[in-house]
Amino acid sequence: MMDQLRAGLIGLGGAVFAVIAFYLARAIFGLIWRFLVHGLLPLELRLLQLLQDRSTSRTLGIDIDVLRFRRKVDFTADDRQK
């Protein structure tokens, strides 16, 4: 009788442990995913902006620094108008 009770408690404890481990792993992977997404999206946007600046400067035949300065001036002016 005691062996069956002990085996039942061990089985129940194992099942509870498995459920807790599953939810913890899901939460941890969710946090890692959010960190990667929020960390990499700004990097991707900056890279795309650099590539766009390069292609625009080659197309128009002007220096890339002129484009960056103009964007900075335009966005600063837009922010002041709001």
Encode pLDDT of 8-29 as tens digits: 999 999 999 999 999 999 999 9
Query: pTM of this prediction?
Result: 0.48
Q: Which domain holds residue 32?
A: 2-81
Q: State the pLDDT at residue 68.
A: 84
Based on the structure, what is the number of domains in the chain?
A: 1
Q: Which two tokens stand for residue 80?
A: 């002041």
pLDDT of 44-71, one tens digit each? 888 888 899 889 888 988 888 888 888 8
How many other C-beta atoms lie within 10 A of the C-beta of residue 64? 13
Q: State yes or no: pLDDT of 82 exceeds 60.
A: no
For the ranges 1-5, 28-32, 43-47, 76-80, the maximum mean pLDDT occurs at 28-32
